[in-house]
């Protein structure tokens, strides 16, 4: 009986799980680096964000049709990294000001689509930087965001492949299903709520902000899929084996980080963002 079913089952499994091993290997290498930078904060986290913004700026310019070493690619990469560096040195108002000026300059030189990559990557990047650098709650809040987005991503991936079913947005991202989206939302929300109390049960109030961040992370994933669909490409790049480009890996963070920063700003006074 097992032999009779082996061929179609293997074919289905190979298609459904073909990228799981390489995705897992990439995550095993990159996740500890990100977590160490998150733990140490300060210059380590700032350096990680700057490197990410250089990569995102380069990747978006490439998606817009520019060569790796073209003046526009260098302007995007250096400009967004400069915004993060200036935010550290002169305050975040200055950093966002640089993003605005860079967006206008790129729009003038290269058009709306190329310019859209500046706020798309830059706002999320500066939000991640600001969130971690808060003196009292920075580590807790950023770790909460990271856990929720990672749990959402893993939950949606696993549930979607195990259950399958009706497609979520077949014209935008044919691989995503309603079951995967719901699984990612539930797993992301409950994992975040569990993280807030460690081994002491679940913080039910934390389900609301965790669910919101999970929803925004999935919306960011769909937005990036829509961009790739418009451009006719499978991945935003080939930076991370099994994941594609940096936008493919960070799309959820870029959408959820500004919301996390707003929640943290609202909860100022030493309270974590889920209060």
The model's pLDDT over 193-246, given as tens digits with 9 standing for 90+, comes to 999 987 677 889 999 999 999 999 999 999 999 999 999 988 887 766 555 789
Does 9 have pLDDT greater than 50?
A: no
- Six-digit token pair at 33? 């680096």
CA distances in angstroms from 231 to 63, 64, 117, 121, 194, listed in the order given: 8, 9, 14, 18, 39
What is the tens place of the pLDDT at every residue in 43-72? 999 999 999 999 999 999 999 999 999 999
Q: What is the pLDDT of residues 92-149, one digit of tens each?
A: 999 999 999 999 999 999 999 999 999 999 999 999 999 999 999 999 999 999 999 9
pLDDT category of residue 8 using cuts at 50, 70 and 90: very low
| pLDDT the model gives residue 197 | 82
Which of 251, 253, 252, 245 is closest to 26 using CA atoms? 245
Give percent above pLDDT 70 in the chain: 88
Per-residue pLDDT at 6 = 33
Residues in CB range of 183: below 8 A, 6 or more apart: 155, 156, 158, 159, 160, 163
Cα–chain-centroid distance for residue 65? Answer: 23
């Amino acid at each position: 009986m097992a032999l009779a079913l082996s061929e179609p089952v293997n074919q289905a499994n190979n298609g459904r799980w073909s990228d799981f091993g390489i995705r897992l290997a990439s995550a095993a290498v990159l996740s500890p680096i990100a977590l160490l930078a998150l733990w140490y904060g300060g210059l380590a986290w700032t350096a990680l964000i700057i490197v990410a913004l250089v990569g995102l700026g380069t990747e978006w310019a490439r998606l817009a049709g520019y060569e790796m070493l073209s003046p526009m690619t260098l302007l995007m990469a250096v400009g967004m990294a400069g915004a993060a560096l200036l935010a550290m040195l002169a305050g975040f108002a200055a950093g966002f000001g640089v993003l605005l000026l860079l967006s206008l300059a790129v729009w003038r030189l290269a058009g709306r689509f190329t310019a859209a990559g500046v706020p798309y990557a830059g706002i999320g990047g500066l939000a991640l930087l600001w969130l971690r650098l808060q003196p009292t709650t920075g580590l807790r809040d950023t770790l909460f965001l990271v856990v929720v987005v990672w749990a959402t991503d893993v939950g949606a991936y696993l549930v979607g492949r195990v259950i399958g079913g009706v497609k979520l947005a077949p014209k935008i991202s044919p691989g995503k299903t309603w079951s995967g989206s719901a699984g990612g939302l539930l797993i992301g929300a409950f994992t975040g709520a569990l993280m807030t109390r460690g081994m002491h049960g679940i913080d039910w109030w934390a389900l609301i902000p965790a669910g919101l961040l999970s929803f925004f992370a999935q919306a960011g994933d769909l937005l990036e899929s829509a961009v790739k669909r418009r451009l006719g490409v499978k991945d935003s790049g080939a930076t991370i084996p099994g994941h594609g480009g940096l936008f493919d890996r960070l799309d959820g963070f870029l959408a959820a980080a500004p919301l996390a920063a707003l929640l943290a700003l609202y909860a100022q006074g030493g309270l974590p963002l889920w209060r």
